[in-house]
Amino acid sequence: MSYYISPRFQDKLAVHITKNYLDLPGVRVPLILGIHGRKGEGKSFQCELVFERMGVEVTHISGGELESPDAGDPARLIRLRYRETAELIRVRGRMCVLMINDLDAGAGRFDEGTQYTVNTQLVNATLMNIADNPTDVQLPGSYDSTPLHRVPIIVTGNDFSTLYAPLIRDGRMEKFYWEPNRDDKVGIVEGIFSPDGLSRREVEQFVDTFANQSIDFFSALRSRIYDEQIRHFIHDIGIERVSLRVVNSVEGPPTFKKPDFSLSHLIEMGKLMVGEQKRVENSQLVDEYNRLNRKNYQPATAPKFAEVPVNYQSSPNGSTIDNTARNYDNHNNQIPSTPVSQETLEQMRQIFAQGYRVGIEYVNERRFRTGSWQSFATHQINDMAEAIATLESCLAEHNGEYVRLVGIDPKAKRRVVETIIQRPNGIGSR
């Protein structure tokens, strides 16, 4: 089976590796090449194909190895594998690279709920240090003055915006966004189905039918074509005898005739897989479960605020209005009515009652994943009327973004409350 290598991918990878082995006068070459793009587009597999064609040996590190119960272990692992690869270059006299798969999964920060550990900090710091000093990489507790051979580092991931910004800056990491075009997809899918007798025209029609699917969809589809034969095999011998027949059988491994790889059958099976994808996307049961959890959840140690008398009176339609929160600020001055919700007003009132100040922050959906909030007010607000006016302005200017209320202790100069009051999908109180 001959697999397709994208010329763009091969060119980028080959140039980066070769450039790191050359002594170019007055040129600072980035040590790290970051290959990023959406899931399932064959980033790692394309790398393996290029390595094989170039005769490059690879030392692998998985993103899952970048965390450990013992602080410092992942950073030490990176240094150790780098030194081992440098030794391979010296001993075998051929190109070698260090490859870290799914770096963002192991060292990235996806949202405010992602734990940022000591190991995450050390991994980022270690990679930056190696990129800056590629011939002087030491193990903790020892020092070897012998310069190492420079080892190119290839990292893959989906979203590099989740990584520590100084690590991915130009000069340390060269970035390559991999998004196969139609010609790339046709070439790759033709390689996947090359033993199955599909013509170039049929492959093109097949790819155009599922133009929005990633490369791994077509590979998974080819595997699924065999499901029918395996199902018949299980029924024929009986489900009780499958283990005896398949594992360590004296009859040898079972054989199957070539299944139906006609274009119409492939499209039919592909549509079934697309239907399963849509059912997963539309179920969103986790959102329903989370809503129930939020409804039933009672904090074990909720913040204790000073009690302030609340004056309720009936409105003409029979509902109650909180005059203390809505009509008076923390200096007992009357304030105008506002579209800000009663829940948010009550939170602000409680913050002020404790002697704290209010801050307002916002962030778009992309930066929310990394926790990069921006302050809307240039100072800490200490007046209820000013807080409401500022909050209304922020909600109006940043409609469709996250907005949160922050309670600040001016004496200790620390945050005591952080509450999201607006979300892009409309969930959250105003």
If you write DSSP's letter for every residue of 404-420 in order, what string do you get? EEEEEETTTTEEEEEEE
Q: Which letter, b or e, does each residue of 129-147 get, where b requires 16 or more Cβ atoms within 10 Å of its Cβ? A: bbbeebeebeeeeeeeeee
DSSP 162: G
Query: Which pairs from 113-118 meet CB under 8 Å and 24+ separation?
Result: 117/67, 117/71, 118/71, 118/72
Distance CA 149, CA 376 (A): 49
Q: Given this model, what pLDDT does residue 295 score?
A: 57
Per-residue pLDDT of 46-61, as tens digits, reads 999 999 999 999 999 9
What distances in angstroms separate CA 229 from CA 162, 198, 256, 270, 273, one per listed residue? Answer: 44, 20, 7, 17, 18
Partners of 177 in the β-ladder: 36
Residue 298 has pLDDT above 60, yes or no: no
Token pair for 161: 């915006």
Q: Given this model, what pLDDT does residue 133 score?
A: 94
Per-residue pLDDT of 314-335, as tens digits, reads 333 333 334 443 444 445 554 4
Q: Given this model, what pLDDT does residue 353 score?
A: 86
Q: Given this model, what pLDDT does residue 302 score?
A: 42
Per-residue pLDDT of 353-399, as tens digits, reads 888 888 888 888 877 877 778 888 655 677 788 888 888 888 888 88
pLDDT band of 250, cuts 50, 70, 90: confident
Q: Given this model, what pLDDT does residue 300 score?
A: 45
